[in-house]
Amino acid sequence: MRSDGAARKKKPKKVVRVLVYWPAEQWDAMAARWPQFVPEYGDDHDTHRRMVEDMLRRHAEDSGATLGVASLTVDGLVEFAAAREFDAAGSETRAAYAAELGRAGTVTSWPPAQRQKCWCGSGRTYRECCAAI
Ligand SMILES: [Zn+2]
């Protein structure tokens, strides 16, 4: 197994910027539970996916941070909030949950190599999926 294009520069920066992503299979459950989230995330899943890719590209341009995508689940967010007595609907809670996933190492680093599976969970390669947006 070779690390396809995962350029090995000196030491990776420890700054990790993690963006929130709702995978396709979570989208409807998220929208049913928290309809107020939907406009913020782009009205439908396809728009959401494009928005996240676009935000990642912009962050990549203007910061040297290591970027990651935290794929949230409704159950995961509810459990995270309940354990800390946070409001599951609060935007700070989502940010804290994404940061927690980042610390736990359960985020997808971005960008994937062109021939790797896309970060969005489509099953296609990055090149044929979100890289083509
Ligand atoms: Zn994709």
Give residue 85 CA to ligand 1 midpoint distance, Å: 34
Residue 97 domain boundaries: 16-132
- Distance CA(117)–CA(124), nearest Å, equals 6
For CA atoms 59, 61, 67, 69, the dihedral sign is: positive
Instruction: Provide the whole-model pTM.
Output: 0.85
CB atoms within 10 A of CB 78: 13
CA of 17 to the centre of ligand 1 (A): 19
pLDDT at 100: 93
Tokens of 123: 């099953």
pLDDT digits over 121-132, tens only?
999 999 999 999
The DSSP code for 117 is: B
pLDDT of residue 14: 55
Instruction: Return the pLDDT at 8.
Output: 54
Residue 24, in any domain of the structure: yes
Whether 6 is in a domain gets the answer no
- H helix or E strand, kind and range, residue 68: strand 66-71
Q: How far is the CA of 50 from the centre of ligand 1 (A)?
A: 8
- pLDDT value of residue 1: 52
Model pLDDT, residue 62: 81
Strand order of the β-sheet with 16-21 is 16-21, 66-71, 108-110
What pLDDT does residue 38 have? 97
Ligand 1 center to residue 47 CA distance, Å? 11
Question: Is 60 part of any domain?
Answer: yes
Which residue ranges in the chain fall short of pLDDT 50?
A: 12-13
pLDDT at 13: 45
Whether residue 108 contacts residue 119, with contact meaning beta carbons closer than 8 Å, is answered with yes
Report the number of distinct structural domains present in the chain: 1
Q: Does 7 map to a domain?
A: no
First to last CA, the chain: 28
- Centre of ligand 1 to C-alpha 36, Å, is 24
Residues with CB under 5 A from ligand 1 (ion): 118, 120, 122, 129-130
